[in-house]
A and B are shown apart, each in its own frame.
Chain A
């Protein structure tokens, strides 16, 4: 009987397993790339430098491994973890299996911010475009919350509708900018819209990691109340949850997490929708397990997708959003056809 409930040891076990998966994917990804520094080359470097205690590789090879590939992998991992975690929270709060992190218009808002940044040449300033994208996201969330609040609480249906409207409005704004901008800017804009991981560096990764840790930490504290809210807001109240406060805290935390991911990496679709579903099918609906599992598996999935994006065509890079959608959409159809949602 105990096997059908979530226990701390089960959470630890599955999290450890998924962490190992992430490490394996990460190592494979570090050793994969168009520069021809593969496992064999690195292994030889390790072996020949073993006695002296250093890695026998060229400085340029070390730069590629540790200053280009490694930050980018951590970056992808953070974005995947953030979007998957936010996806779990939005699906639960809105009690809607089709919800994703972008459903409240965050993507549209940050896209408009980023595009304005690109057109104004903000990429010359450190954190220029992410800062503007973040500002766009935050302003959008504030707007949607003002529209979606009723009698001091947040009404899920009104929020959902507000998000749809805001997204529609922002797509029009985005199309306006696209149709009036030069072809050089157009390429940058397109890449941003489809999700771009190529600009990872240590500072960025550090900042994102801290913000994600804070947001995910807050979310995890509310994992059990989230279980109750999934069974109905009134039921959750009857079982002692302060639903109004819980919803406000969780909506803000999940929006923050999403805004962080989107402003640095652009709009990467499907991760925040598919990963929570996969994990829910494999592990059940208890958020105390679902949240850490989605966090870790989302990170692995994104690293894998980004690795494919950077190696599949030699000499050029795909936007990672193309990969996640090309893998994610068919898989989602498969899930829909074979399993009950």
Chain B
């Protein structure tokens, strides 16, 4: 049985359709990536799966139960979300943030116990944030904050983690570290990962399957090699790319092509060209 099943989902904001006829499954233990241009419905899809917004038509079920019949607390034990970096108004300490991951497991007036502290400690160990435990969230760098938010999701002990463009504000080192960590948790702990990302190369390198969204519809889904093709990318992104095999692992790799980057004339201004 798939851990998450999305069936015939339509969603619109006022009169703009964000998702149309979305049906797919997240298999237990897989690392599923979602790519697509801005406005293709990636983030909306994450919000629908986690029940933040309710689709106009269709149904999402997790572990065989329709989420509209679930209490938020029960859903939070099955699904965790690592958001993009969020604004911090009242600064909590990192450990306090991670302990919040225990919330769906606690009764209304119950305090976190020793076992919860131990779970939080392990989650922080895995994300290399233990040394930040006593620091205030607003004193951390973007990468550190992101790792604390992953630790919170791990402390939630859910079966699925949804990642909503988690590396959008991270530099390349932290991007790679982030995906490596998620991959390790996926392999070693059997954590199911659903990752929305802008970075096609990272998605290709880490995901078991990739889903390509275009204008709220699923364009294609499958192994990275099947989905990331020059034709698909041109159709969806309206951009010319070169897709070749990564010499290290044979996975597809894209290179952006444009007149200024590929033409002869770009040599002289190479220093000013964006380093993609």
Chain A positions within 8 Å of B, measured between CB atoms, are: 1-8, 91-92, 95-97, 221, 224, 227-228, 230-232, 234-235, 237-242, 280, 284-286, 288, 340
Shortest CB-to-CB span from B177 to chain A, Å, is 23
Once A5-B112, A227-B100, A285-B90 are accepted as A-B contacts, the answer to whether A239 and B76 lie under 8 Å apart by CB is yes
Residue of B nearest to A244 (CB): B72
Shortest CB-to-CB span from A9 to chain B, Å, is 10
| Contact indicator A240/B72 (Cβ below 8 Å) | yes
A236–B77 alpha-carbon span in the complex (Å): 13
Shortest CB-to-CB span from A73 to chain B, Å, is 31
| Contact indicator A2/B117 (Cβ below 8 Å) | yes
Once A5-B95, A5-B117, A240-B103 are accepted as A-B contacts, the answer to whether A234 and B89 lie under 8 Å apart by CB is no
Once A235-B86, A239-B101, A241-B103 are accepted as A-B contacts, the answer to whether A4 and B76 lie under 8 Å apart by CB is no
| Contact indicator A231/B156 (Cβ below 8 Å) | no
- With beta carbons under 8 angstroms apart, the residue of A2, A227, A232, A238 that contacts B76 is A238
A230–B74 alpha-carbon span in the complex (Å): 21
Once A1-B134, A224-B103, A235-B83 are accepted as A-B contacts, the answer to whether A240 and B77 lie under 8 Å apart by CB is yes
List residues of chain B with CB within 8 A of the CB of A91. Answer: 90
Once A1-B121, A4-B96, A239-B156 are accepted as A-B contacts, the answer to whether A230 and B72 lie under 8 Å apart by CB is no
Known: A280-B90, A285-B92. 20 other contacts (CB 8 A): A2-B117, A5-B96, A5-B99, A5-B112, A6-B96, A221-B108, A224-B103, A231-B92, A231-B97, A232-B87, A237-B51, A238-B50, A238-B79, A239-B76, A239-B101, A240-B75, A240-B104, A284-B96, A288-B111, A340-B138
List residues of chain B with CB within 8 A of the CB of A237. Answer: 50-52, 72
A134–B118 alpha-carbon span in the complex (Å): 49
Shortest CB-to-CB span from B152 to chain A, Å, is 8
List residues of chain B with CB within 8 A of the CB of A92. Answer: 90
| Contact indicator B89/A95 (Cβ below 8 Å) | yes
Residue of A6, A242, A285, A286 most packed against chain B (CB within 10 A): A285
List residues of chain A with CB within 8 A of the CB of B234. Answer: none
| Contact indicator B83/A286 (Cβ below 8 Å) | no
A91–B106 alpha-carbon span in the complex (Å): 25
- Chain B 114-163 residues near chain A, CB threshold 8 A: 117, 121, 130, 133-134, 138, 156
CB-defined A-B contacts under 8 Å, sample of 28: A1-B117, A1-B130, A2-B117, A3-B134, A4-B95, A92-B90, A95-B89, A96-B89, A221-B108, A227-B92, A228-B103, A230-B90, A231-B88, A231-B92, A231-B100, A232-B86, A234-B47, A234-B52, A237-B51, A237-B52, A238-B76, A239-B100, A240-B72, A240-B77, A241-B103, A242-B71, A284-B92, A285-B96
List residues of chain A with CB within 8 A of the CB of B109. Answer: 221
Once A221-B109, A285-B92 are accepted as A-B contacts, the answer to whether A240 and B83 lie under 8 Å apart by CB is no
| Contact indicator B101/A285 (Cβ below 8 Å) | no
List residues of chain B with CB within 8 A of the CB of A238. Answer: 50, 52, 76, 79-81, 83
Shortest CB-to-CB span from B155 to chain A, Å, is 10
Shortest CB-to-CB span from B99 to chain A, Å, is 6
List residues of chain B with CB within 8 A of the CB of A4. Answer: 93, 95-96, 133-134
List residues of chain B with CB within 8 A of the CB of A284. Answer: 92-93, 96
Shortest CB-to-CB span from B108 to chain A, Å, is 6
B267 in the interface, Cβ–Cβ < 8 Å? no
Shortest CB-to-CB span from B39 to chain A, Å, is 19
- With beta carbons under 8 angstroms apart, the residue of A3, A96, A224, A242 that contacts B72 is A242
A184–B134 alpha-carbon span in the complex (Å): 59
Residue of B nearest to A224 (CB): B103
B91 in the interface, Cβ–Cβ < 8 Å? yes
A97–B74 alpha-carbon span in the complex (Å): 32
Shortest CB-to-CB span from A108 to chain B, Å, is 26
List residues of chain B with CB within 8 A of the CB of A96. Answer: 89
Residue of A nearest to B109 (CB): A221
| Contact indicator B52/A230 (Cβ below 8 Å) | no
List residues of chain A with CB within 8 A of the CB of B111. Answer: 7-8, 288
B187 in the interface, Cβ–Cβ < 8 Å? no
A340–B93 alpha-carbon span in the complex (Å): 15
| Contact indicator A241/B97 (Cβ below 8 Å) | no
A8–B51 alpha-carbon span in the complex (Å): 33
B73 in the interface, Cβ–Cβ < 8 Å? yes
A48–B80 alpha-carbon span in the complex (Å): 70
